[in-house]
Amino acid sequence: MTEEKYFVETKEYKKFVEFCEACKKYKYIGICYGAPGVGKTLSARYYSNWDYIEKNIANDSFEKAAEKIDENVLECQTIFYTAPAVKATQMLEKIRMLGVQVKFAKNSYRNEEDVDINWDKEIDLIIVDEIDRLKIQNLEQLRDIYDQNNVGMIFIGMPGIEKRLARYPQLYSRIGFAHEYNKLSKDETKHILEYKLHELDVKINLEDFSDYEAISKIIRITDGNFRLIQRLFSQIERILEINQLDTITAEVVEAARDSLVIGGK
């Protein structure tokens, strides 16, 4: 089975990109909300290239003159930060430190020696995930960052977060955009499944009833939830390997579903 992984740029992801670009351009605070598992966090990390950036701005190797310029770091304009589940007292400092790390990393590739820790010229957008975890005093910290720096900011949370933030007029008055991240349509789910099947190196013929039944069951179980598709396919892969199978059947899908706590569908 192949190890290659894909990120599929769905319609919802493209709408999310437009939303992010608007927040960057107009320097507004934006709210992105949606049900668990629809792809909010994954989209934000992909948009910001954060899996790569986070690893490379924390690496001491960039302090030495690099023979090869890292264009990914030089092009970084977005910070991604996950709000802590407990004590957010150091949140302000951690976000600022990420900005400083990005700036110093860029300077090292430009061969610039700049001890100024002001980082707002390097960053256009700050994305804060799991905003539901934060109390009002923490939200005020974020407002302080927004007010002191020429950046856009995006809060990602669950449905209803936009109503909760409306109770804080000083913060809410700075919010310029709201975006609801919806679940996948049936057509997009089928498109995602093509990539997942490719990862498993499994071929499906939809004209074959057993294959059609298996795919229909996956679509019915996952109901457009991106995270659930990922989890279900992890179990499908495990079952195929254990039983030395090379075909996904309705029985395999049902066995995979029974391994997950996903409710009745």
Model pLDDT for residues 185-220, shown as the tens digit of each residue:
888 898 888 888 888 888 776 666 678 888 899 999
Give the max Cα distance, the chain: 66
pLDDT the model gives residue 265:
43
pLDDT the model gives residue 203:
74
44: left (phi over 0), alpha (psi -120 to 50) or beta: alpha
The model's pLDDT over 65-119, given as tens digits with 9 standing for 90+, comes to 455 778 999 999 999 999 998 787 788 899 999 999 999 888 888 877 766 678 8
The model's pLDDT over 34-53, given as tens digits with 9 standing for 90+, comes to 999 999 999 999 999 999 99
pLDDT band with cut points at 50, 70 and 90 for residue 264: very low
Instruction: Give me the domains of the chain, ranges plus CATH numbers.
Output: 11-180 (3.40.50.300), 186-258 (1.10.8.60)
CA angle 230, 236, 238 (to 5 degrees): 105
For residue 151, pLDDT over 60 is answered with: yes
For residue 30, pLDDT over 80 is answered with: yes
The backbone torsions φ and ψ at residue 30, rounded to the nearest 5 degrees and listed phi first, read -120, 150
Return the number of other C-beta atoms located less than 10 Å from residue 248's C-beta: 27
pLDDT the model gives residue 36:
94
> Percent of the chain beyond pLDDT 90?
54
Contact yes or no for 153/30 (Cβ under 8 A): yes
CA-CA distance, 249 to 236, in Å (whole number)? 10
